[in-house]
Amino acid sequence: MWGGAGAAVRMSTLLAPTLREVPAEAETESHRLMLRAGLMRRLAAGIYSHLPLGQRAIAKVEAIVRQEMDRQGAQEVRLPLVQPEELWVESGRSAKYGEELWRLKDRHGRPFVLAPTHEEVVTDLARREISSWRQLPLILYHVSNKYRDEPRPRAGVMRAREFVMKDAYSLDRDRDGLLAAYARMRAAYARVFTRCGLDWRVVEADPGTIGGGDTLEFVALADVGEAEIVWCEACGYAANVERAEGARPAEVEAAEGADGGAAGPVRIHTPGVRTIEDLVAFAGIPASATSKILFLWAEYAPDGRRELVAALVRGDRQLNEIKLANALGAVRLGMADRADVLAQTGAPVGSAGPVGLRGARLLTDLEVACGGAFAIGANQEDWHLFWAKAGRDFDPGQVADLRLVGAGDPCPRCGDALRGANGVEVGHMFALGAVYSQAMGALYRDDQGRSHPIEMGCYGIGITRTLAAVIERHHDRDGIVWPFAVAPYHVAVVPVAAGEDGTREAGERLYAELRGAGVETVLDDRDLRPGAKFKDADLFGWPLRVTVGRTLRDGAVELRQRRGGLTERIQLGGAAAAIRARVAAGLGETEPPPGHGSQAPDAPGW
């Protein structure tokens, strides 16, 4: 696909405007570099034009994705980006998606949406076209723009409102078929991200608005990433912190204290104590021996009913609102303000506690409910209860895993310390099951003539976001350092030193040879001084740079590797062949070993 005539270009004709100064709009390195190296330009917030080099890099990622999809037997289709909102009403997601769903009307005033994803369209296609078990299984995929009216686009293409995404949909007869498809896609994803040169992890995640059962995220490690993940080196457990389970404490925390409040909680006057910090300072106990109560409004679908909720977690923990929402079945949560809490429960926020709590639905984190005794507000200004125990001193209400898990916390599977990192969510897969097919009536007949909903899975890869993640990982102070696999071009031929005879001609000849050999090459034939060409070459990040200059008098050119800066002389005679071999080797660098990613679906992902 990338061989032949289209694989080479003269810089003098290429629209690749570099910026010497850092654009004010950009904060992350990948965003800055994509602008500075002339890969893209902003049209509106979160919407970009991709220029020739950006387009080529995107096409490289797409090509890798297509190869890996095809390898697993998936079939490419092209689906509409403009979809009747009706379909989304039918699936129930029009309401769930809220304002992020980009709505528009046609001239007749009929409501449409710009596709953020294609479950509805695929399910609709399936219900029309699939009627027999003989037509299954099937995996369809497509690559297209997606639209999400993000409240706050940021970091360029990392969180955009229009972006390129590959999405795949598996259609199966039953759960086993779905799991097999899921495993295949997982294997494909492992190969895709490895080939792109990313340092990535697969983690368990929260299904969010898409619904369904199992879900995995593929996260490219990067400090600027918005996804926080934890993983265990010992047993392989890995999860997004939104999902990561809190380890169930094996036994009662030692923090119970010497006298332990064996006879019951002790009421202590604590003037001015409002926060956990205050309480720790006042009582000289660790924060882990305290607990705190947080008040939130929970909203439920479909009637928008609201309820005040009190969540009790240990003083040193943070509440995971997603877990809380899931425990409640709520669609939305928001912190309640102190006035609301006081009005509803009569409890002052800084001194609120579970003992004698009224007017709010109480949920207690596992850790607090497991038998330990904690210091907690007494529901009276300036008073706290020490050594209060769930079950003995108050009704814990609904007990659930509610805390946010972080690095250093014990692994929920094996107890080892978890590690943590930030990353960019580049892929996501969901074993949907029958949620969409059920809602939209996508049914097939089995060999007995019985009707069943199609078992579905969906699988996304953020193409443009993956590209940003690649740059985030592969750059230095001078510019991009492309891995061969996604570099817009592999080699730059740079003739310099006008004082030397024949550098231009030699450069032209070498360029023609490389081009003829199918090597993806740019010729920097611009009338610029050497320094400017070198700086640009570094910024563009070509994996290899061939300088045709003063060494020409010895019949040699210089071959420089962008990564590491290693420079060597090679004879002009064999240069094209040598460079070609170097490109082939470079392309092999990120090629996964045989069998990579093809492990069983429940094996650790790395």
Partner RNA sequence: CGGGGUGUGGCCCAGCUUGGUUAGGGCGCCUGGUUCGGGACCAGGAGGUCGGCAGUUCAAAUCUGCCCACCCCGACCA
Using CB under 7 A as the binding rule, whether residue 19 contacts RNA is answered as yes
Give me the least distance between CB of 302 and RNA, in Å please. 16
Instruction: Please answer whether residues 503 and 494 qualify as being in contact, where contact means their C-beta atoms are separated by less than 8 angstroms.
Output: no
Specify the residue, 253 or 321, whose C-beta has the smaller distance to RNA.
321
Using CB under 7 A as the binding rule, whether residue 20 contacts RNA is answered as yes
Instruction: Please answer whether residues 178 and 433 qualify as being in contact, where contact means their C-beta atoms are separated by less than 8 angstroms.
Output: yes
Give me the least distance between CB of 414 and RNA, in Å please. 28
Residue among 560, 600, 597 nearest 196 (CA): 597
Among 117, 351, 364, 521, binds RNA (CB under 7 A): 117
Using CB under 7 A as the binding rule, whether residue 343 contacts RNA is answered as no
Specify the residue, 396 or 488, whose C-beta has the smaller distance to RNA.
488
Instruction: Please answer whether residues 542 and 491 qualify as being in contact, where contact means their C-beta atoms are separated by less than 8 angstroms.
Output: yes
Instruction: Please answer whether residues 206 and 240 qualify as being in contact, where contact means their C-beta atoms are separated by less than 8 angstroms.
Output: yes
Span of 3-11, 15-23, 343-351, 367-375 interacting with RNA by CB under 7 A = 15-23
Instruction: Please answer whether residues 548 and 510 qualify as being in contact, where contact means their C-beta atoms are separated by less than 8 angstroms.
Output: yes
Q: Which strands sit side by side in the sheet containing 398-400, from one edge to the other?
A: 332-335, 291-300, 305-314, 361-365, 398-400
Specify the residue, 396 or 427, whose C-beta has the smaller distance to RNA.
427
Please state the φ and ψ torsions of residue 59, each to the nearest 5 degrees: -65, -35
Span of 281-289, 401-409, 525-533, 592-600 interacting with RNA by CB under 7 A = 525-533
Site for RNA in 39-58 (CB under 7 A): 42, 44-46
CA–CA separation, 35 and 219 (whole Å)? 24
Site for RNA in 261-300 (CB under 7 A): none
Specify the residue, 375 or 404, whose C-beta has the smaller distance to RNA.
404
Among 530, 590, 601, 606, binds RNA (CB under 7 A): 530
Specify the residue, 290 or 464, whose C-beta has the smaller distance to RNA.
464
Number of chain positions touching RNA (CB under 7 A): 66
Cα distances (angstroms) measured from residue 56 to each of 30, 106, 335, 451, 493? 16, 34, 46, 46, 18
Among 286, 334, 516, 555, binds RNA (CB under 7 A): 334
Structure tokens at 539: 């910024």
Give me the least distance between CB of 590 and RNA, in Å please. 23
What is the SS3 string spanning 320-381?
A: CHHHHHHHHCCCEEEECCHHHHHHHHCCCHHHCCCCCCCCCEEEEEHHHHCCCEEEEEEEEC
Span of 175-183, 196-204, 284-292, 550-558 interacting with RNA by CB under 7 A = 550-558
Give me the least distance between CB of 17 and RNA, in Å please. 8
Using CB under 7 A as the binding rule, whether residue 25 contacts RNA is answered as yes
Task: Name residue 476's beta-bridge partners.
Answer: 479
CA–CA separation, 507 and 510 (whole Å)? 5
Give me the least distance between CB of 3 and RNA, in Å please. 28
CA–CA separation, 537 and 558 (whole Å)? 14
Amino acid at 365: D
Write each residue from 454 to 483 as x if it is in contact with RNA (CB under 7 A), else as -, in one continuous string: ------x-x---------------x-----
Residue among 489, 596, 506 nearest 557 (CA): 506
Please state the φ and ψ torsions of residue 124, each to the nearest 5 degrees: -65, -45
Among 267, 504, 535, 563, binds RNA (CB under 7 A): 535
Instruction: Please answer whether residues 170 and 137 qualify as being in contact, where contact means their C-beta atoms are separated by less than 8 angstroms.
Output: yes
Instruction: Please answer whether residues 242 and 322 qualify as being in contact, where contact means their C-beta atoms are separated by less than 8 angstroms.
Output: yes
Span of 150-158, 173-181, 360-368, 379-387 interacting with RNA by CB under 7 A = 150-158
Specify the residue, 288 or 326, whose C-beta has the smaller distance to RNA.
326
Amino acid at 399: V
Among 10, 154, 504, 563, binds RNA (CB under 7 A): 154
Span of 81-89, 174-182, 376-384, 526-534 interacting with RNA by CB under 7 A = 526-534
Instruction: Please answer whether residues 53 and 39 qualify as being in contact, where contact means their C-beta atoms are separated by less than 8 angstroms.
Output: yes
501 Cβ neighbours under 8 A, 6+ residues apart? 552
Using CB under 7 A as the binding rule, whether residue 65 contacts RNA is answered as no
β-bridge pairing 475-476 and 479-480: antiparallel
Residue among 37, 11, 6, 12 nearest 23 (CA): 37
Q: Which regions of 391-474 does DSSP assign to beta strands (E)?
A: 398-400, 419-433, 443-445, 451-453, 455-462
Give 451's Cβ-side CA count (13 Å radius): 7
Span of 191-199, 205-213, 353-361, 570-578 interacting with RNA by CB under 7 A = 205-213
Specify the residue, 102 or 489, whose C-beta has the smaller distance to RNA.
102
Specify the residue, 149 or 365, whose C-beta has the smaller distance to RNA.
149
Give me the least distance between CB of 175 and RNA, in Å please. 20
Among 235, 497, 512, 587, binds RNA (CB under 7 A): 497
Using CB under 7 A as the binding rule, whether residue 167 contacts RNA is answered as yes
Specify the residue, 413 or 529, whose C-beta has the smaller distance to RNA.
529
Among 68, 321, 393, 513, binds RNA (CB under 7 A): 321
Q: What is the DSSP string of 476-536?
A: ETTEE---GGG-S-SEEEEE--TTSTTHHHHHHHHHHHHHHTT--EEE--SS--HHHHHHH
Span of 54-62, 76-84, 396-404, 537-545 interacting with RNA by CB under 7 A = 537-545
Write each residue from 353 to 392 as x if it is in contact with RNA (CB under 7 A), else as -, in one continuous string: ----------------------------------------
Among 78, 108, 109, 151, binds RNA (CB under 7 A): 151
Question: Please, what is the angle between helix 175-195 and helix 52-71, to 10°?
Answer: 140
Write each residue from 419 to 458 as x if it is in contact with RNA (CB under 7 A), else as -, in one continuous string: ---------x-x----------------------------
Give me the least distance between CB of 122 and RNA, in Å please. 13
Using CB under 7 A as the binding rule, whether residue 152 contacts RNA is answered as yes
Residue among 133, 130, 123, 154 nearest 47 (CA): 154
Give me the least distance between CB of 41 and RNA, in Å please. 9
Q: Dmax of the chain from CA atoms?
A: 97
Return residues touching RNA (CB under 7 A).
18-25, 27, 42, 44-46, 98, 100, 116-117, 146, 148, 150-155, 159, 165, 167, 207-210, 215, 226, 321, 332-334, 428, 430, 460, 462, 478, 496-500, 528-532, 534-539, 547, 549-552, 558, 560
